[in-house]
Amino acid sequence: MRQAGRSLPEYRKVREGIPMLESCTRPELITEITLQPLRRFDVDAAILFSDIVVPLRAVGIDVDIKAGIGPVIETPVRSARDLERLRPLEPDDVPYVTEAVGALVTELGGRPLIGFAGGPFTLASYLVEGGPSKNHDKTKALMYGHPELWHALLGRLAGIAISFLRIQVSAGAAAIQLFDSWVGAVSPDDYRHAILPHTKRIFAALGSHALGDDSVPRIHFGVGTGELLGLMGEAGADVVGVDWRIPLDEAVRRVEPGKALQGNLDPSILLAPWEVIEERAKDVIARGRTAEGHVFNLGHGVLPETDPGVLARLTDLVHAESARTPA
């Protein structure tokens, strides 16, 4: 239930007057905000409070997160020369992440902490468009028109993601998630040629061949990726995230064997009466039983207007329901 914090008054209180990206560089604040949802909800894991653009800012990209808009980049990245601004990420660029993850692992006392990074298409889209985009036109124009530049850009972004994820794993994160949130904008053929090689590289760099006993479960998520789920599984994660647009039993048919699924309750269902939520959550769990493994989650982030009481009730329902042996 990422971004659960946005619906909590205590989150809004500690963030008051502190810009989003600045709050991601203060270890005590990162720790406090990460823990806030766990004080209210009996969830099985915490997700680090950060953002997918934090490592971009850390290597010197002039990105800001504007309230009500999202990430905005003053000088977009559109040429070979611009690429030089995307230097590799070093642990010394994000000391606050290492410090916060270390403190959280102690505080969590065995409850897993999920670290994360932005996927290559999604970060490329913010960099090329200069901000949030509905259709990702400029990004796709670069992908179609300048394949060499595109692969150079995604190569650098994959390197930054690998480094950011490894920093979190070294500091004690128990699982990692790659959010390629907007990759559902491309067709399967384009995904295979233009994106898959880079996501494969990221997951390989975090797998057991690369990290041995230090490797952790890897989750891969995007929105509107029904037609890409098979390829996203091929990219090498252990868990494939599914939004709410296709049912989990259908997702099982699309993803290769040996993978678990994560998802996929529509976050807007949480704005409906409890009876509706209960019925839909039970349906997600029942369909999830057809997968080799299932991590119950929303199909996307928590909406800010969600009632925290409903989130607490949902968490309890999921625990009770998944402990039950199906008839």
Give catalytic residue positions.
Answer: 2, 6, 15, 51, 126
Buried/exposed code over 79-99 (b: 16+ C-beta within 10 A; e: otherwise): eeebbeebeebeeebbebbbb
Residue 34 beta carbon to ligand 1CP: minimum distance, rounded to whole angstroms: 8
How many residues can be counted in the chain? 327
Could you check whether the bond before residue 135 is cis, i.e. omega within 30 degrees of 0?
no
43 or 212, CB closer to ligand 1CP?
A: 43
Minimum CB distance to ligand 1CP, residue 52 (Å):
4
* Calpha distance 187→173 (Å, rounded): 33
- Please report, as ranges, the residues that interact with ligand 1CP according to CB under 6 A: 2-6, 20, 47, 49-52, 65, 67, 70-71, 116, 122, 132, 179, 181, 223, 300-301
Measured CA to CA, the distance from residue 210 to residue 202 in angstroms comes to: 11
Residue with smaller CB distance to ligand 1CP, 147 or 232? 232
| Least distance from ligand 1CP to the Cβ atom of residue 327, Å | 35
Euclidean distance between CA atoms 218 and 47, whole angstroms = 13
Which among 90, 72, 94 is positioned nearest to 26, based on CA atoms? 94
Contact 225, 244 (CB under 8 A): no
- Judged by beta carbon, residue 35 or residue 271, the one nearer ligand 1CP is 35
In the chain, what is the greatest distance between 2 CA atoms, to the nearest angstrom?
A: 62
Task: Give min distance, CB of 171 to ligand 1CP, in A.
Answer: 16
Closest-approach residue to ligand 1CP (CB): 70
Q: Which is nearer to ligand 1CP, 64 or 321 (CB)?
A: 64
**Which DSSP string do the residues of 56-75 spell out, in sequence order?**
HHHTT--EEEETTTEEEESS
Distance, CA of 292 to CA of 252 (rounded, Å) = 8
Identify which of residues 21 and 291 has a Cβ nearer to ligand 1CP in the complex. 21
- Min separation Cβ 14 and ligand 1CP, Å: 11
